[in-house]
């Protein structure tokens, strides 16, 4: 006998949405998300919930991730949800693939080291760098380029994955190795390469 498919009734849909809204950290405002649902805009509400989880890199259990994707598919917004939830770490992974460092002492240390290492002649020399994520298996870091100007539209939105040497001195270009992307998910793909290429990683 095959598995029984439970239909997405309005009652079940709302129950799942409100349950999954509880995944947001207490400090994250949820009022706008719930208001969109109450106003009869479930697609907008779920997109906002997924964006909030993504923006805050909320770690997720695999069952909750699957439930979010199932609900997104039922509401017709699965494509955006799949991409956005890539930024939510897997709570059940054997090791952390990466972690957020932005606005932390670690980010300050990384930024200082990159400032020392990236010498004239390097493609990133003189560009403001904002450390964002750090690989869990190697020294690779994901940084945003010229963040302030990119946010205001004065420069293109670009992301780089850089491999600092931690030599505490200027390096000879093209060291430290760096790859620049205009799509954040492409940069995340590179940051996760250590785990995709190692068979024993979960």
Question: Residue 157's pLDDT is what?
Answer: 87
At residue 128 the predicted structure's pLDDT band, cuts being 50, 70 and 90, is very high
- % of the chain residues with pLDDT over 70: 94
- Separation in Å, CA 200 to CA 27, 93, 99, 194, 197: 36, 12, 20, 11, 9
Q: Which residues 6+ apart lie within 8 Å of 11 measured at CB?
A: none
Give dist(CA 145, CA 155) in Å, integer. 9
Question: Residue 2's pLDDT is what?
Answer: 55
My answer on whether omega of the bond before 174 falls inside 30° of 0, hence cis, is yes
Mean pLDDT of the 107-111 span? 98
Give dist(CA 120, CA 132) in Å, integer. 23
Mean pLDDT of the 15-32 span? 88
Give dist(CA 67, CA 17) in Å, integer. 9
Poorest-pLDDT segment among 3-12, 113-122, 154-163, 192-201: 192-201
Q: Which residues 6+ apart lie within 8 Å of 186 measured at CB?
A: 159
Q: Which two tokens stand for residue 69?
A: 């994707």
Q: Which long-range contacts (CB under 8 A, 24 or more apart) does 1-10 make?
A: 8/71, 8/74
At residue 19 the predicted structure's pLDDT band, cuts being 50, 70 and 90, is very high
Q: With a threshold of 0.85, does the pTM exceed it?
A: no
Question: Residue 84's pLDDT is what?
Answer: 95
For the chain, give every domain's residue range.
Answer: 10-87, 98-196
Question: Residue 159's pLDDT is what?
Answer: 96
* Nearest one of 43, 50, 36, 42 to 77, comparing CA atoms: 43
Q: Is the pLDDT of residue 143 over 50?
A: yes
Question: In this predicted model, what pLDDT tens digit does every residue of 42-93 receive, in sequence order?
Answer: 999 999 999 999 999 999 999 999 999 999 999 999 989 999 999 999 999 8
Question: Residue 200's pLDDT is what?
Answer: 43
Please provide the average confidence, as pLDDT, over all residues in the chain: 91
Q: Is the pLDDT of residue 199 over 80?
A: no
Poorest-pLDDT segment among 1-5, 31-35, 123-127: 1-5
């Amino acid at each position: 006998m095959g598995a029984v498919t439970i239909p997405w009734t309005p009652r079940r849909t709302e129950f799942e949405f409100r349950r999954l809204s509880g995944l947001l950290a207490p400090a994250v405002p949820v009022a706008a998300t719930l208001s969109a649902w109450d106003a009869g805009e479930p697609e907008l509400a779920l997109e906002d919930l997924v964006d909030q989880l993504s923006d805050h890199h909320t770690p997720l259990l695999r069952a909750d991730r699957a439930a979010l994707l199932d609900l997104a598919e039922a509401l017709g917004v699965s494509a955006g949800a799949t991409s956005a939830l890539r930024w939510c770490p897997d709570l059940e992974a054997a090791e952390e693939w990466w972690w957020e460092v932005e606005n932390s002492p670690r980010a300050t240390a990384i930024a200082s080291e990159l400032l020392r290492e990236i010498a004239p002649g390097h493609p990133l020399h003189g560009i403001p760098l904002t450390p964002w994520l750090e690989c869990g298996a190697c020294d690779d870091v994901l940084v945003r380029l010229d963040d302030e100007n990119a946010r205001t539209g004065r420069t293109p939105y670009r992301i780089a994955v850089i491999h600092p040497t931690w030599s505490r001195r200027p390096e000879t270009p093209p060291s430290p190795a760096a790859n620049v992307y205009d799509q954040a998910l492409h940069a995340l793909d590179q940051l996760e390469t250590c785990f995709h290429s190692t068979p024993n990683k979960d």
